[in-house]
């Protein structure tokens, strides 16, 4: 699992945000149920011909059954754009957008990300995503503008048994351009 030595929490943070650091700040319910059609579409889009992912016989022999491509892990938490009840769905990594809005930051870039896989997603799985505000820095100014760096740690869990499927650490710089 990706874990980091956290930097000190900046003193200029609102108390509710400072209290979030290092804790699960948000849990996102499963957006979709994993199925073979999604997996095939993904494999076709990225032109991945790995027999483990295409051939049921190979999958049964090596993994016990069909498994999703590891690169698909984060796709199972991405909500759809439209819901029939008229409500807007949460955005993927909703906490990131809430932090941007709270600090009045218009733009963001991903500095880097790191993924660790533990157990494959299989057809029928539903994936819960826990989002941890792993780290947040003080306000800084660089050539992009003025803003803050933060790291979110996403823990992907299988809904039915709570098994840890993987983790993803994503480092952002959210900022406003100079006037």
For residue 142, give the 3-state DSSP assignment.
Answer: coil
Q: What is the pLDDT along the chain (179 residues), one digit of tens a residue?
A: 445 556 788 889 999 999 999 999 999 888 788 988 988 998 999 999 998 899 889 989 998 888 999 889 888 887 666 667 777 667 778 899 999 999 999 999 999 999 999 999 999 999 999 999 999 999 999 999 999 999 999 999 999 999 999 999 999 999 999 88
* Alpha helices for 64-154 (secondary structure H): 94-103
pLDDT of residue 1: 45
DSSP secondary structure, 25-88, as one string: EEEEPP-SB--HHHHHHHHHHHT---HHHH-HHHHHHHHSS----GGGGGGGG---S--TTSPP
pLDDT of residue 89: 67
Domains of the chain: 15-81+88-176 (3.10.129.10)
Write down the pTM of the prediction.
Answer: 0.85
Using an 8 Å Cβ cutoff, are 114 and 143 in contact? no
């Amino acid at each position: 699992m990706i874990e980091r030595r956290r930097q000190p929490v900046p003193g200029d943070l609102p108390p509710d945000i400072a209290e979030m650091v290092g804790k699960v700040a948000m849990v996102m319910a499963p957006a979709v149920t994993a199925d073979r059609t999604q997996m095939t579409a993904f494999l076709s889009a990225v032109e991945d011909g790995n027999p483990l992912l295409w051939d049921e016989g190979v999958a049964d022999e090596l993994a016990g059954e069909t498994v999703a491509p590891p690169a698909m892990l984060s796709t199972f938490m991405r909500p759809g754009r439209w819901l029939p009840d008229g409500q807007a769905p949460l955005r993927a990594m909703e906490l990131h957008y809430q932090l941007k809005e709270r600090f009045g930051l218009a733009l963001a870039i991903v500095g880097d990300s790191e993924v660790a896989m533990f157990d494959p997603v299989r057809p029928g799985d539903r994936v819960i995503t826990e989002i941890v505000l792993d780290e947040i820095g003080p306000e800084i100014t660089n050539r992009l503008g003025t803003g803050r760096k933060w790291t979110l740690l996403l823990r992907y869990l299988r809904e039915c048994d709570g098994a840890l499927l993987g983790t993803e650490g994503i480092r952002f710089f959210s900022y406003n351009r100079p006037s």
